[in-house]
């Protein structure tokens, strides 16, 4: 059976590996039916199909907040779609207006209720991890919101790869394995694979500040001022001291390549897979190249560079694997 997966699924797999998730672990996927959560779920299914030895056990959880007239209809479509995918599922209806606390905004109430449900599902299913579809684009949006609302560079906090699960038990984690992927990557994956998605109308309601930032402000900046605005913000977060994303485990890097391993040779499949996603023919590599990679993986270093035929493999603290081709 082929072990090749798409670049997108590879990045999801790398994020899960960085967070310490093991094959066979139970994963509760927060599933709205939109592009982000749909891409995440399908990436997990792709991994299971193409790399069964790395397969996880996902259960999709959809929370219908009843915030618009079509929410019940969308929930039914999602139920049917998940049944077709043969994915274990939990569909819960919690009308936000019935659960909101005094002075709580609809957004805040929906988030609280959603995590209360997700933590209960995780407890019932004895799952340690809850996965959400946060992307690098969410990090850019959060940066702008905090900047507009007033903060100093030293107090910026970034969305973590992993964090304690709100309302969960000790040791349960909320994971964002797509946190290094941008929304454009998500949309490309969804389009190329013909994945059906169900958009919540509230996600385009620009009365909500995050929707305004996402739908109007960032596109305006990219169109009129800087088309690489997202990249520049992400670089700022990574290099200015504002990047406070905690590692999966205290002291470890977010990228598994930096964690010293006893059997580093087992990681070579992941290196080969990365090279394949970059259309690099690793058959040109010699045993010496692979031996050098194995040696580097056994050392707790911040990063390393290895010369390959026609290219250079770079592993750094922020960006993980990178392939630099020579002219």
The structure tokens 């045993």 sit at 287
Same domain, residue pair 179 and 67: yes
Q: What is the CA radius of gyration of the chain?
A: 20
Domain count, the chain: 2
Same domain, residue pair 22 and 162: yes
Q: Which residue has the higher pLDDT, 239 or 55?
A: 55
Q: CA 264, 48, 92 angle in degrees (round to 5)?
A: 125
**42 contacts 72 by C-beta, under 8 angstroms:** no
Looking up residue 69, the CATH number of its domain turns out to be: 3.40.50.620
> Among residues 206, 239, 272, which one ends one of the domains?
239
Q: How confident is the model at residue 248 (pLDDT cuts 50, 70, 90)?
A: very low
**84 contacts 53 by C-beta, under 8 angstroms:** no
Domain-located, residue 202? yes
Predicted local distance difference test score (pLDDT) of residue 151: 58
Q: Once rounded to an integer, what is the mean pLDDT over residues 320-326?
A: 71
Domain-located, residue 81? yes
Same domain, residue pair 221 and 263: no
Domain that holds residue 320: 256-325
DSSP state of 203: G
Same domain, residue pair 178 and 290: no
Domain-located, residue 249? no
Same domain, residue pair 173 and 294: no
Domain-located, residue 248? no
Which neighbouring-strand residues pair with 279?
A: none
Q: CA 281, 286, 287 angle in degrees (round to 5)?
A: 130
Same domain, residue pair 209 and 263: no
Nearest to 16 by CA among 132, 119, 114, 122: 132
Same domain, residue pair 230 and 278: no
Give the range among 100-104, 107-111, 119-123, 246-250 with minimum mean pLDDT. Answer: 246-250
Q: Mean pLDDT across the chain, nearest whole number?
A: 82
Same domain, residue pair 215 and 274: no
> Among residues 239, 273, 308, which one ends one of the domains?
239
Tell me the per-residue pLDDT of 161-173, one tens digit each, with 9 for 90 and over: 898 898 888 889 9
Domain-located, residue 244? no
Same domain, residue pair 127 and 188: yes
Tell me the per-residue pLDDT of 3-28, one tens digit each, with 9 for 90 and over: 678 999 999 999 999 999 999 999 99
Domain-located, residue 2? no
- Please say if the pLDDT value at position 228 is more than 50: yes
Domain-located, residue 185? yes
Domain-located, residue 207? yes
User: Cα(255)–Cα(317) distance, rounded to whole angstroms?
Assistant: 7
User: What are the Cα distances from residue 174, in Å, to 31, 204, 224, 236?
Assistant: 14, 25, 36, 25
Q: Once rounded to an integer, what is the mean pLDDT over residues 129-139?
A: 95
Same domain, residue pair 180 and 286: no
The predicted model scores a pTM of 0.74
Same domain, residue pair 117 and 265: no
> Among residues 239, 270, 303, which one ends one of the domains?
239
- Please say if the pLDDT value at position 221 is more than 80: yes
Same domain, residue pair 200 and 169: yes
Read out DSSP for 248-268? SSTT--SSGGGS--TTGGGGH
Predicted local distance difference test score (pLDDT) of residue 197: 94
Q: How confident is the model at residue 253 (pLDDT cuts 50, 70, 90)?
A: very low
């Amino acid at each position: 059976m082929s072990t090749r997966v798409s670049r997108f699924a590879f990045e999801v797999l790398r994020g899960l590996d960085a967070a310490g998730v093991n094959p066979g672990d139970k994963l509760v996927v927060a599933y709205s039916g939109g592009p982000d959560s749909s891409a995440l779920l399908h990436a997990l299914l792709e991994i299971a199909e193409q790399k069964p030895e790395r397969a996880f056990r996902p259960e999709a959880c959809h929370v219908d907040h009843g915030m618009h007239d079509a929410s019940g209809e969308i929930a039914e479509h999602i139920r049917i779609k998940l049944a077709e995918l043969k994915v274990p599922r939990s569909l819960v209806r919690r009308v936000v207006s019935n659960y909101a606390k005094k002075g709580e905004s609809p957004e805040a109430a929906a988030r609280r209720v959603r995590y209360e449900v997700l933590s209960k599902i995780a407890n019932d299913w004895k799952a340690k991890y809850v996965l959400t579809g946060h992307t690098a684009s969410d990090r850019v949006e959060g940066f702008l919101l905090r900047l507009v609302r007033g903060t100093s560079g030293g107090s910026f906090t970034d969305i973590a790869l992993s964090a304690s699960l709100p309302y969960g038990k000790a040791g349960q984690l909320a994971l964002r394995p797509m946190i290094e992927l941008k929304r454009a990557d998500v949309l490309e994956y969804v389009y190329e694979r013909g994945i059906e998605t169900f958009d919540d109308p509230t996600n385009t309601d620009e009365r909500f500040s995050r929707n305004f930032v996402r739908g109007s402000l960032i596109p305006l900046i990219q169109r009129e001022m800087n088309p690489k605005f997202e990249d520049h913000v992400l670089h700022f977060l990574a290099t200015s001291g504002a990047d406070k994303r905690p590692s999966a485990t205290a002291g470890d890097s977010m990228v598994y390549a930096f964690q010293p391993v006893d059997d580093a040779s087992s990681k070579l499949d992941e290196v080969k897979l990365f090279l394949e996603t970059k259309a690099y023919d690793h058959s040109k590599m010699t045993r010496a190249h692979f031996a050098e990679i194995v040696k580097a993986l056994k050392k707790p270093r911040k990063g390393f560079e290895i010369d390959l035929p026609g290219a250079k493999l770079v592993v750094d603290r922020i960006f993980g694997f990178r392939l630099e081709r020579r002219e």
